[in-house]
Amino acid sequence: MKNLFDSGHRGCAGCCDAMAAKFTLMGAGEDSIVINPTGCLEVMTTPFPETSWNVPWIHSLFENAAAVGAGVEAALKSLGKENTKVVVMGGDGATLDIGMRSISGTFERGHDLTYVCIDNEAYMNTGVQRSGATPYNASTTTSPSGKVSFGNPRPKKNMPAIMAAHGAPYVATTSIGFPKDMIKKVAKATEIEGPTYVHAHAPCTTGWGFDTSKTVEVAKMAVQTGLWPLYEMEDGEVTKVRKIGKNVKPVEDYLKMQRRFKHLFTMEGGEEEIAKIQAIADKNIEDFGL
């Protein structure tokens, strides 16, 4: 079978976005139209006159992908082509920050589309600046660690909960470290009528600072520590959770793999900060029964 997402793109070696796009299309299938806001994935796949996409694809602006998706969906309906799936793939900045109004409106109105957020926890396309998805204490170029700072002072915005609160019939978290989980959830999301949301955790080799071969390993570790719980919500209720059980790992194992948390292991007071991150993981484990 021909890959719906093709070779020759300019993504970094070990690129999380490329994997996320590939898995998304494996789940959504060829009868899909993809909407992509501005970001790494858009830039690396479509340098005019080339494209890596073997499905119809459109990029408009940074903050409007969900609205463009709503428009595509409305057009398909009016033209009698309802069977085609509408899939928006946006980064965390395009989704949680600048595109918030657009995605909120689209979900509130109940358009039949699937929004996949590819969350690499910062603005990677512009050089690793902090976004609303950047985790607590991560060092980015606009939330750098320094003599008086441990990096980003705020925890991640809980976007899946916000989307569930919109009345979305299906909200799921997934990770590129669990491709089969992601493909399955995207497939399920695209089959369900109405606005569905899949939030995929996607470690970025360049932005997070780890070897290009470790993308999947880091992604798995986020899940195994409880920092990125994998769950599904249907009609606002958590219906399925991926258990970690006894295999749970301390957050330290996850943090030490990445340059963006390196300062926590060298700065005075770092230990207390790591403990605060452990508390975030512990709360996830408790809340979701991981």
Partner 1 sequence: MAPENKLDKSKMVVVEGSYAVAHAVKTCRPNVISAYPITPQTHIVEDLSQFMADGEIPNCEYINVESEFSALSALVGSSAAGARCYSATTSQGLELMHEVLFNVSGMRLPVVMTIVNRAVSAPISIWNDQQDSISQRDTGWIQLYAENIQEISDMTAQAYKISEDKDILMPAMTCMDGFILSHVYEPVVLLEQDLTDEFLPAYEPERILDPKNPLSFGAFADPNYYAEFRYLQEQAMQKALKKIEDVANEFYDIYGRYYGGLIDEYRTDDADIIIMAMGSIVGTIKDLIDKLRDRNVKVGLLKVRAFRPFPAEAIKEVIKDSKVIVTLDKNISLGLNEGALCTETKSVLYNSDIRVPVIGYMIGHGGRDIKVDTIEKIVDDAEEVIKTGIRIESQFADLKEELL
Partner 2 sequence: MKILPGGACEAGTTRVNKTGGWRTFKPVYDYDKCIKCKLCELLCPDMAVNPRDDGYFEFDYDYCKGCGICANECPKSAIEMVLEEK
Binding partner of 19, given partner 1, partner 2, none, CB within 5-8 angstroms per partner class: partner 2
Least distance (Å) from partner 2 to the CB of residue 32?
13
Greatest Cα pair distance, the chain, in angstroms, is 63
287 is a contact residue toward partner 1 (CB under 8 A): no
Nearer to partner 2 among residue 1 and residue 148 (C-beta): 1
Least distance (Å) from partner 1 to the CB of residue 108?
7
In angstroms, rounded to a whole number, what is the distance separating the alpha carbons of residues 228 and 225?
Answer: 8
Token couple for 231: 């769950």
Size of the site for partner 1 (CB under 8 A): 46
Q: Which residues in 104-117 are b (16+ Cβ under 10 Å) and which e?
A: eebbeeebbbbbbb
DSSP 213-245: GGHHHHHHHHHHHTSS--EEEETTEEEEE---G
109 is a contact residue toward partner 1 (CB under 8 A): yes
114 is a contact residue toward partner 1 (CB under 8 A): no
Least distance (Å) from partner 2 to the CB of residue 249?
17
Q: Which 217-246 residues touch partner 1, going by CB under 8 A?
A: none
The residues facing 89 across adjacent strands are: 116
Q: Which residues in 150-188 are b (16+ Cβ under 10 Å) and which e?
A: bbbeeebbebbebbbebebbbbbbbbbbbbebbbbbbbb
Q: Which 24-53 residues touch partner 1, going by CB under 8 A?
A: 30-33, 35, 42-43, 46-51, 53
Binding partner of 67, given partner 1, partner 2, none, CB within 5-8 angstroms per partner class: partner 1
In angstroms, rounded to a whole number, what is the distance separating the alpha carbons of residues 188 and 183?
Answer: 9
Nearer to partner 1 among residue 125 and residue 131 (C-beta): 125
Least distance (Å) from partner 1 to the CB of residue 80?
8
Binding partner of 63, given partner 1, partner 2, none, CB within 5-8 angstroms per partner class: partner 1
Nearer to partner 2 among residue 54 and residue 141 (C-beta): 54
Site residues (vs partner 2, CB under 8 A):
2-3, 5-16, 18-19, 22, 45-55, 179, 205, 211-217
The candidate with the shortest Cα–Cα distance to 155, out of 284, 41, 263, is 284
Nearer to partner 2 among residue 9 and residue 263 (C-beta): 9
SS (H, E, C) 159-218: HHHHHHHCCCCEEEEEECCCHHHHHHHHHHHHHCCCCEEEEEECCCHHHHHCCHHHHHHH
Binding partner of 78, given partner 2, partner 1, none, CB within 5-8 angstroms per partner class: partner 1
Contact pattern for partner 1 over residues 54 through 93, marking x by CB under 8 A: xxxxxxxx-xx--xxxxxxxxxxxxxx---x---------
